[in-house]
Amino acid sequence: MPQLQVLDLSNNIISNLSSNTFDGLHNLLNLNLANNSINYMDNKILHATQNLKQLDLSFNNLTSLPEGLFKNQKNLTWLGMHQNRLHQLDTTHLDSLSNLQVLLLQKNHWKCDCHVAGLKLWLESFVYKGGEIDEILCTEPEDLRSKDLMKIPHELFQPCPSVKHKPSHADSEHRSSTTQSLHNKYEHDNNSDCNTNSKQRTGNLRHAVATVVITGVVCGIVCLMMLAAAIYGCSYAALMAKYQRELKKPEHLGPEVEQGSTEEKEPLDGSLA
């Protein structure tokens, strides 16, 4: 049916689909696979449906998406993946959806750790450009359970540790045990680094508090010294002013004393005359 535009396969018991299920449906616009038991999708299953505008994968058992699933879906405007078991979503799956307008991701098993920070940035950019999303609630870790991913500050997401050496698949039991030992050692080293960093942060915090306390004490001492100097200066000025007044008193009393002695002498001279 090459002219088919709408295909509704919802509410069945479909668990998997082969890679060529939709081959030849070049005019398909709306594909509804909701409410099935799909737990895996081949990355080539949508390659023939390049004109697809709406895709509903909700209410299934998807735990992850294969790389390149939406590679040719440039015309897709509506994508529903809510009510699955997704715990992470790589933004490379969404980068090719240049015309996407609505993205539904709620009620999945979102693990809000360092790996979800990239998705949060992508969703913020998507909403800023006019896109519509639903509420994305975290299930892990415990302290972020039921929190909306879009409302969690970026500072709470620590950068993911870079792993330089990836464990290879072992062909023998000996290689498997060796790889596991190296992996355990790597985790132990990472935990040690985390503990060391936490101790360093605690030491830096104590150093900062001690610096603030010492600075406060020094400033208090300086203020007291300035206050004492001000009091001393005022007292000295008052004493000097009093001393100057005492010195000026005899100078004012001198002429009065002399006038008094003259007046006292005149009657005496008259009596003698």
Q: Which residue has the higher pLDDT, 270 or 108?
A: 108
89 and 150 share one domain:
yes
Q: Is residue 152 part of a domain?
A: yes
Query: Distance between CA 86 and CA 60 in Å, rounded?
Result: 10
- Would you place residue 171 in the very low, low, confident or very high pLDDT band (cuts 50, 70, 90)? very low
For residue 67, give the nearest of 46, 38, 43 by alpha carbon: 43
For position 71, what pLDDT does the model report?
Answer: 87
Answer yes or no: is pLDDT of 40 > 80. Answer: yes
Highest-confidence segment of 63-77, 149-163, 192-206: 63-77
Answer yes or no: is pLDDT of 14 > 90. Answer: yes
Q: Is residue 195 part of a domain?
A: no
102 and 216 share one domain:
no
25 and 119 share one domain:
yes
Query: Distance between CA 65 and CA 59 in Å, rounded?
Result: 15
Structure tokens at 82: 């809510």
110 and 244 share one domain:
no
For position 176, what pLDDT does the model report?
Answer: 52
Answer yes or no: is pLDDT of 164 > 90. Answer: no
Helix (H, G, I), strand (E, B) or coil at 174: helix
Please say which residue of 158, 188, 217 terminates a domain: 158
229 and 135 share one domain:
no
141 and 237 share one domain:
no
Asked which of 16-20, 148-152, 177-181, 257-261 is least confident by mean pLDDT, the reply is 257-261
133 and 39 share one domain:
yes
Q: Is residue 254 part of a domain?
A: no
Q: Is residue 80 part of a domain?
A: yes
For position 162, what pLDDT does the model report?
Answer: 64
Query: Distance between CA 170 and CA 179 in Å, rounded?
Result: 8
For position 257, what pLDDT does the model report?
Answer: 45
For position 190, what pLDDT does the model report?
Answer: 54
Q: Are 68 and 92 spatial neighbours (Cβ–Cβ below 8 Å)?
A: no
Q: Is residue 114 part of a domain?
A: yes
Summarize pLDDT for 96-111 with one digit per residue, the tens. Answer: 899 999 999 999 999 9
Structure tokens at 250: 């005899």
Q: Is residue 186 part of a domain?
A: no
Average pLDDT, integer, range 159-178: 53
121 and 244 share one domain:
no
Answer yes or no: is pLDDT of 34 > 90. Answer: yes
Note the residue count of the chain.
273
Average pLDDT, integer, range 152-181: 59
Range of the domain at 120: 6-158
User: What backbone torsions phi and psi does residue 37 show, to the nearest 5 degrees?
Assistant: -125, 35
- The average confidence (pLDDT) of the chain is 80
User: What would you report as the CA-atom Rg of the chain, rounded to the nearest whole angstrom?
Assistant: 44
CATH number of the domain that residue 35 is part of: 3.80.10.10
Q: Decide the pairing of beta strands 138-140 and 110-111.
A: parallel
For position 258, what pLDDT does the model report?
Answer: 46
Q: Which residue has the higher pLDDT, 82 or 205?
A: 82
Instruction: Tally the domains of the chain.
Output: 2
Query: Which 3-state string (H, E, C) describes 70-105?
Result: CCCCCCCCEEECCCCCCCCCCCHHHHCCCCCCEEEC
Query: Distance between CA 231 and CA 199 in Å, rounded?
Result: 48
Q: Which residue has the higher pLDDT, 194 or 73?
A: 73
Query: Distance between CA 220 and CA 253 in Å, rounded?
Result: 51
Answer yes or no: is pLDDT of 170 > 50. Answer: no
Answer yes or no: is pLDDT of 269 > 70. Answer: no
Residue 105: which residues within 8 A CB-CB, separation 6 or more? 81, 82, 86, 89, 133, 134, 136
Helix (H, G, I), strand (E, B) or coil at 153: coil
62 and 138 share one domain:
yes
Please say which residue of 134, 158, 182 terminates a domain: 158
Structure tokens at 63: 């735990």
Q: Is residue 125 part of a domain?
A: yes
Widest CA span in the chain: 163
124 and 243 share one domain:
no
Q: Is residue 15 part of a domain?
A: yes
Query: Distance between CA 124 and CA 127 in Å, rounded?
Result: 5
Answer yes or no: is pLDDT of 262 > 60. Answer: no
143 and 244 share one domain:
no
For position 99, what pLDDT does the model report?
Answer: 94
87 and 217 share one domain:
no
